[in-house]
């Protein structure tokens, strides 16, 4: 398991089952059984996914009779978004054009740089 928080958050998110669980939880708190329903997967497998999400701080669990309802804790997603912000300029279309411009000017692509 990785030490830093951002890594464990990203690692937890890098699984479609876990992202689907978060999407369900965005609709509201619910039980493990209901979270498991959409998946062709054993209960213990879901339980492990929930453990990963909990370890990453993305969900928290309470108690309701036999049920252990889960709820979304989105704070770590905010940290991911904050990390991503530093790169926003790189994927904005305006920057793509800026980047092309800089490469032309600086000639980093060589004198015959692909003009597109």
Partner DNA sequence: CAGTTATATAACCTTTTAGTTAAATATTTG
Partner DNA sequence: CAAATATTTAACTAAAAGGTTATATAACTG
In the complex, the residues that contact a second copy under the rule CB under 8 A are: 2, 4, 6-8, 10-11, 13-16, 19, 22-23, 26, 29, 62, 72, 74-75, 77-78, 80-81, 83-84, 86-88, 90-91, 108-109
Q: Which of residues 7 and 104 has its CB atom nearest to DNA in the complex?
A: 7
DSSP for the chain? --SSHHHHHHHHHSSHHHHHHHHHHTT--B-HHHHHTTSSS-HHHHHHHHHHHHHTTSEEE--BTTB--EEE--HHHHHHHHHHHTTHHHHSHHHHHHHHHHHHHHTTT-TT----
Q: Which of residues 57 and 100 has its CB atom nearest to DNA in the complex?
A: 57
Q: Which of residues 33 and 75 has its CB atom nearest to a second copy in the complex?
A: 75
């Amino acid at each position: 398991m990785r030490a830093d928080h951002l890594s464990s958050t990203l690692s937890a998110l890098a699984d479609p089952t876990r992202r689907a669980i978060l999407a369900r939880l965005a609709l509201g708190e619910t039980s493990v059984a209901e979270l498991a329903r959409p998946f062709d997967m054993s209960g213990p497998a879901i339980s492990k996914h929930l453990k990963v999400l909990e370890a990453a701080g993305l969900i928290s669990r309470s108690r309701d009779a036999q049920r252990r309802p889960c709820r979304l804790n989105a704070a770590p997603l905010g940290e991911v978004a904050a990390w991503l912000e530093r790169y926003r300029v790189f994927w904005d279309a305006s920057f793509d054009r800026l980047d092309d411009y800089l490469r032309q000017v600086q000639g980093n692509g060589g004198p015959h740089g692909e003009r597109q």
